[in-house]
Structures are given as structure tokens and as C-alpha cells.
A and B are shown apart, each in its own frame.
Chain A
Amino acid sequence: MDWQLLGWLAVALYLAAEILSIASLRKPRFPALAPYALAGGIVLQFIDLHARARALGSVPYRTLSGSMSLFGWMLAVTCLVLLLKHRERSIGPFLIPFVVIFSVAGVLIPFRPTPPRPETSGALFALHVTLAILGYAAFALSFVLSLLYLVQSRQIRRAQTGVLFARLPALEAIGGMNRTAVSIGLVSLLVSTLLGAAWAERVWNSLGDAKLAWAIFTLAVYGLLLWMDRRGWKGQRVALLSILGFGLVIFSYTFVNLYLSRAHTFR
């Protein structure tokens, strides 16, 4: 199938990006080629996702395979933004593996087109789903960055100057990337939530969904995080809050979807 081939090609480019970013980490003078490979993978995977979307008649969120692939793609996009914005080559090797994992899952899990549901077609809904997944991807990267922040902070305090200490970037650089990731996530989730609410209002004439409440709660936590970062609480506390925030995201993605929400069961 053509999307499988494209999917694997994208995965190959992501792997190349990982190898290239490890190479440029080991040899400072190695040209920074990883963003190009990553961008190439993003283009290929987009074509693949587009093909899937055509087959489904909607954004491929309802099948496991499609949503994994979409999530992986969003991770890749956010990763690329972080790499280009912060020019911090040493973070690539730690983030790109997640892109690879989800994209591989997207290709390996069999893709079975499901019959389209009429109410889920249309740009409003597509944008709602896409932005939500982008938001989750950005929060996932923020989670990883926060873990790296805590690890590096601990190593500095204990004067443990081993391999990981040498390879990981400075705390301020990780913090700056985390800020970017959270900002992307916050804006995406905010717009997605508004669109979702508008859609629900139109289809059901009601906003009463647990998912909405949970999204507002999540938005508040990340908003608080950015505010703290600006107010000078940057550092470890921001990292911890970002980890907590991602916990909320996971909870919302699993428990809320399965038991509380009526619109997000994906059945």
C-alpha cells in the first residue's frame, strides 16, 4: 500500500535525523543536517496522512494507527520548530526518538478505514482534532524537556560531570525550549477547545461535556506555568508543573475519554 511505503520512508528520514543529530552532538563541527531530514520526514508523512484522511473522509484520529501517526507527525513538527527556534543541537537526540516511536507505531498497526460519520466532516471539526493533537504533542515534548531539566539540574547540584551532563544542554536552554513547547501547546489546545465547543454547540446544542471542563483545567495549569516562568519562578518548579500538566493530559486522553466524555470515546 502506498501510504505504508511513504510511512516507512518518513520513519527512515526521522531515523536519519536522529543519527545526524547524534553525530553533530559528538562532533561540534559536523554540519547541522538533522532539521533537513526531519523536515523531509514531515513532508512525506504529511502526504501519507493526507492519503489516509481521504480514505477516511476525515482527519485520521479515529483509528489507532491513524492517531499514532498523526501524533508522531505533530511531535515531529513541534520538534522542528524547537530545533530551528532555539538552535540547540544537543536536544535533538533526546526528542526525535519519540517521533520515531509514534511514527513506527502508525505504520505497524494495521490501518483499516472506518465508515465516515457525517457530523465529523468539515473544516471546523478537522481543525479541532488537529490542533488538539498538536497541543498534546507539544505538551509531551514539554514533559520530556522537563524531565531532562530535572536530571541536568540534579547533576549540576551533585557535581556529577559524566556523559549525560556533558551531552545535555544548559538549564536555561532547556527551560527556553520548554517555554516554547508549552506556548505552542497552550495556544493549540485553547483554539481547539473553542472550536470543539462551537462544534458541540452546533451539533448538540449543548456544551455539557466533561472533556471541556478537563480541557479548561489543563489550560489553567499550563497558563499558570507560563505565568510562573515569567514571574521568576522559572526552573525546577516550572519543570515539575509541566510534568503534572502532562499527567492531566494523559488522564484526559484515557480516563476522561473512556468514562466521562460523551463525544470523545472514538467509537
Chain B
Amino acid sequence: MSGPGEVRLLVLGWNFRTAAEAVRERVAFTAEEVRDGLARLVGRGVVSEGVIVSTCHRSEIYGLADERGAEEALTRFVSEWRGLTAQELAGAGFHRIGADAARHLFRVAAGLDSMALGESEVLGQVRRALALAREAGATRSVLHRLFEWAVAAGKRVRAETEIGMHPLSIPAIGFELASKVFGELPERTILVLGAGETAALFARHATEAGVSDLRIANRTPERARDLAARVGGRAVAWETLGEQIAGADVVVGTTASPAPVVRRSDVEAAMRQRRGRPIFFLDLAVPRDIEEEAADVYNVFRHGVNDLEEVALENRRRRAREIPEAEAILEEELGKFLAWFGNLSIVPTVTDLRRRFEVARDAELARAPEADRERLRAFAEALSARLLHEPLRRLKAEDDPARKLDRADAIRHLFDLDGLGEK
């Protein structure tokens, strides 16, 4: 299809869909390893540009390389690096080339390839991957542009669709419901009962959301203090639970207690102290921490883990409904990127540069006196041929594919070749 010297994008990856955790652990890279690996990849000429995206759910190596044998060379490199056989790597991973590789990155950045559909952390991870690659000196114009484009497309998808809107995690859903009672939650008091894993998960979510008054009550006070220190909350005495409930707006139950720790009578007493201000119970404990009858007290809201799981399911469906629209946006952005990338190869650049000269020549000739035009035309043609000869020869003779594209990019920019068609 294309002769030697044509370059293309490729990606080699292992993610939560394709690879068992045992393999994924071996190809998970630290920032230091990423910089080091990229420097060697580019240094040895396996790829001429490279970026490694490494998160808990995926490791992906993006490269720009000569068409022939790049995947094999890359696989060999990784297998030596991580001590896995080529078969192990190939069996557990996937690879894409050309437009498919670019499309894959766009989908990753938009959260379409994530375990939690539409999550937005991945956008930051993609951005960090590009920053690391720049530090390692492994990116030039193409991958740089590809990654920036992917991030921009990911942002557009989030702004124009609801793919990142409906929360999926239980703490986030609980928070959303509570915030529809109280408004902004950061100024509110949140009381967590228990100090186990669920408590930690919720407490961390609360502090990340900006809650400053987070209280933790646990039967064993040391564990409450321990968790409070870890997440930035305050441990309160279990013996003062009644008071604590009266002083809290949101109460989260997460204890392992076999019987409810908050009874209807406790809630009634608390509501008297609260002078009727609403209270929101989030019961994440199994069996439940808050007696079900407590929800019958006036202005008391109570949700159990089942309610929230149903919302999570519904929200996942809501996000999934946005996939076609998200994909349409990605295809549009991808189309623009591929058009830019396609123009970077030598042939269109040479053609466009010649046309740029022709346009300038014709504009000048139009102003010349009629009688002189033929003679001037011949002269102008000879001059532009001579001026273009050496730059084009050098451009074509460049061996390093990345440098070749860099130069094509520079020419396109300096002569405004992308604006040529518009005039």
C-alpha cells in the first residue's frame, strides 16, 4: 500500500478486559519506569515517538514507527523488559494500528473504554502520560498532537453528553441524594458510624468532596481515631451517639453490628433536639444499622444499600445511552485529527507546497502587463522549480520518520498549507 518510510501509529496494550491480573501486574509501570522505558524505546529506534499510558486498569504503549515489523519489535522489547514471553504478552493483550490506534486512544480519553463507563480520572491519566513522555524526550509533533487531541475530544464528550454525569459509586449516589435535601454538602456535618472499609470509602469520598465537618464514631475508639487521622475527620465518642446524631445532617451506618445501632426512639429524640430540621440516614451496613421504622419519623430520610445499588444500575444505563452520541463526537474529532495526520506525509505536503507557489505566481502574473505575461510565466516557473528543488529533496531523503513528519509539519505551518484550500 505504501512504500518503505511511510510511518504509522500503533498501540500495544493490556487492560482489564484482555489481561488477567497476573499479567497486568507485570506490565504496570511506575512513572520512573515509564520515562526510562520510553527513553530506551526511542533510543533503540523501536519507535520514533512513544507514550505509555499506565493506570491500575490498563497499560498501553503508543508508538509511531516504520510500517514493517514495529509490533514485533515492540513486543520483543516489552518481553525483555518485563520478563514475559512474547506468547504470554500477545495472548493477554491487543494491538491496533493506524486510525484504529488513534480511535482507541480517543475512546480511552473519553472514558468509553473504562471499567466505570464515562469516569473522568482517565483524562488526567492520559494527560500525565503525555507529560511523562515529553520529559523523556519521546514525543514530537505527531503523538503530542494525538494526545492533546484525544484529551480535547474527551472533554468535549463530557461537556456535550451525560456520560460522566450520573454517579456510579454508592457513596457518590448517597451524596447526591443527601445534597438534594440540604443543598451544598461541604458546610454540613456528616457522621460516620463504624470504622471499617465501607466507612473509609465513604469518609474519603466526603473529604474529597470538600466536607470539613466529618465525624467518626466507632465502638472501639482507637479505630475511629485511626480512620479520622487517615481521612482528615474527627473521632467522637460512641457513648455520645445520641447527641452526635442530633448534631449531624447526614448519618452513614457502616458497622458490623448484628442489631441496629440507631433505633426509632433515638431518632425521635434527635429530631426533637434538631427542632425538626431534616436528617438523612444512609445505611450501608448489612445487616442494617438504622432501624427501618426510623424513616417514619417526620423529616427523616433513610436509604439502604439496595436503593443505592438500584440507582447505580439505572445510572449505568443512563450513561450507556450516551455512548452513540459520544462515539459520534469522537469520530468527528478523529476525522479532523486523521486529516491533519494524513496531510503530514510527504506526498500531500509536496503537492500543497507546489500549489502554494503556483497561487503566488498567478497572483503576481495577474498584475503584470499583458504583453510580458508569457515571458514572466516561464521565468517564474523556472525560479520556483529551482527554489523548491533542494528543500523537497532533503525532505524526501530524511531517514528518521518522526523527524520527517516534524519537518512536513513545519513546512505546512510556515507556508500555511492547511489554509490553502480555503482561499
| A interface with B by C-beta (< 8 Å) | 152, 155-157, 159, 161, 165-166, 168-173, 231-237
Cβ contacts under 8 Å, B278 to chain A: 171-172, 234-235
CB distance from B117 to the nearest CB of A (A): 16
Also in contact, A159 and B180, with CB within 8 A (given A171-B278, A234-B276) = no
CB distance from B231 to the nearest CB of A (A): 25
In the complex the two chains form, is B301's CB within 8 Å of A156's CB?
Answer: yes
Cβ contacts under 8 Å, B301 to chain A: 156-157
In the complex, what residue of chain A is closest to B314 when comparing beta carbons? A161
Interface residues on B, range: 20 to 34
Complex Cα distance, B355 from A22, in Å, reads 50
Also in contact, A170 and B311, with CB within 8 A (given A161-B166, A233-B276, A235-B298) = no
In the complex the two chains form, is A170's CB within 8 Å of B182's CB?
Answer: yes
What string of 1s and 0s marks CB contacts (under 8 Å) between B266-287 and chain A? 0000000011111000000000
CB distance from A70 to the nearest CB of B (A): 34
In the complex the two chains form, is A169's CB within 8 Å of B183's CB?
Answer: yes
Complex Cα distance, B176 from A170, in Å, reads 10
Interface residue B303 (Cβ < 8 Å from any Cβ of A):
yes
The listed residue (A170, A234, A235, A237) touching B183 by CB distance below 8 A is A170
| B interface with A by C-beta (< 8 Å) | 165-166, 173, 176-177, 179-183, 274-278, 298-299, 301, 303, 307-308, 310-311, 314-315
Query: Which of A157, A232, A233, A235 has the largest count of B CB atoms less than 10 A from its CB?
Result: A232
In the complex, what residue of chain B is closest to A88 when comparing beta carbons? B183
Also in contact, A161 and B177, with CB within 8 A (given A231-B276, A233-B276) = yes
Cβ contacts under 8 Å, B276 to chain A: 231-235
In the complex, what residue of chain A is closest to B181 when comparing beta carbons? A171
Cβ contacts under 8 Å, B183 to chain A: 169-170, 172-173
In the complex, what residue of chain B is closest to A155 when comparing beta carbons? B180
Also in contact, A159 and B181, with CB within 8 A (given A232-B274, A235-B298) = no
Cβ contacts under 8 Å, B314 to chain A: 161
In the complex the two chains form, is A161's CB within 8 Å of B315's CB?
Answer: yes
CB distance from B297 to the nearest CB of A (A): 12
CB distance from A151 to the nearest CB of B (A): 11
- Apart from A156-B181, A161-B311, what are 4 other A-B pairs with CB-CB below 8 Å? A170-B183, A172-B183, A232-B276, A232-B277
Cβ contacts under 8 Å, B275 to chain A: 231-232
In the complex the two chains form, is A159's CB within 8 Å of B274's CB?
Answer: no
Query: Which of B180, B276, B315 has the largest count of A CB atoms less than 10 A from its CB?
Result: B180
Complex Cα distance, B181 from A157, in Å, reads 10
